[in-house]
Amino acid sequence: MIYEPDQQRLLSKGRFRKRGIYLLPNLFTTAALFAGFYAIVQAMNGRFEYAAVAIFVGMVLDGLDGRIARLTHAQSAFGAEYDSLSDMVSFGAAPALVIYVWALKGMGKLGWIAAFIYCAGAALRLARFNTTLDVQDKRYFQGLPSPAAAALIAGLVWVVHDAGIEGPDIRWVAWVVTVFAGLSMVSNVPFYSGKDINLKKSVPFVALLLLVLSFVLVSTDPPKVLFGLFVLYALSGYGMWLWSFARRRTRRPA
């Protein structure tokens, strides 16, 4: 390769370098993307339990890539963009398709409209998150995070399938949960982010014990426990919003 004189000077000063990407965090992002793609394939094949589990696996991997990037100082603009595109597939398109094929397909227009509301809500949620990242309170998300919304959909599919109930039998429940999740993502309701938790700090022994007990609790009945936890999380934001609204009303002068 022949370089121009200006490029040669920059090379000699070490200022002209090839741009690369960090492998480790993007490897986790790719795995999360594959989990979303796998969920879509399994839903098309009628294996809805596998599809639901794949969405949960993608959620775990998505939670790891950002923390690994921060811990290894491997954050980059490429990684942020790649993560958003992966989230749109794993927590936007995949849950919408899974719930549509599983329960909403027989509802005609109402079914695909609900699935589209969810999918569009995920896209808008991710776009708003990326554009307001620098001005948001790090302790809270504005609107339900897309992984949590996807966990609501996947958890419903998993727990109902585990109970031996077919999706069309509870199509109206699925419709309500889908629309609720989609609209919650674009709401202004605050949800605790957990980003103020410092993994590098020492914690009391009780915290480690509670972590172990939580794993034991999930292992007793994963579908019910995981779905119940994310239902509580989805309702917690509205609870905080109502509490904050009530406090503001009481502080107003008569």
Query: SS3 for 189?
Result: coil
Domains of the chain, each with CATH number or no CATH: 19-251 (1.20.120.1760)
Look at the alpha carbons of 21, 23, 24, 30 in this order and tell me if their dihedral is positive or negative: positive
Query: SS3 for 48?
Result: helix
For residue range 211-231, what is the model confidence (pLDDT) as tens digits? 788 888 888 999 999 999 999
Q: Which of 50, 40, 52, 28 has its CA nearest to residue 93?
A: 40
Q: Is 0.75 topped by the overall pTM?
A: yes
Locate tokens 């990037």: which residue? 69
Report whether 181 contacts 114 (CB < 8 A). Answer: no
**For helices 146-162 and 109-131, angle between their N-to-C axes, nearest 10 degrees:** 140
For residue range 26-38, what is the model confidence (pLDDT) as tens digits? 899 999 999 999 9
For residue range 101-156, what is the model confidence (pLDDT) as tens digits? 999 999 999 999 999 999 999 999 999 988 887 667 778 888 999 999 999 999 99
Report whether 178 contacts 104 (CB < 8 A). Answer: yes
Q: What is the largest CA-CA distance in the chain?
A: 78
CA distance to 49, 59, 96, 205, 234, per residue, from 189 (Å): 30, 21, 22, 34, 10
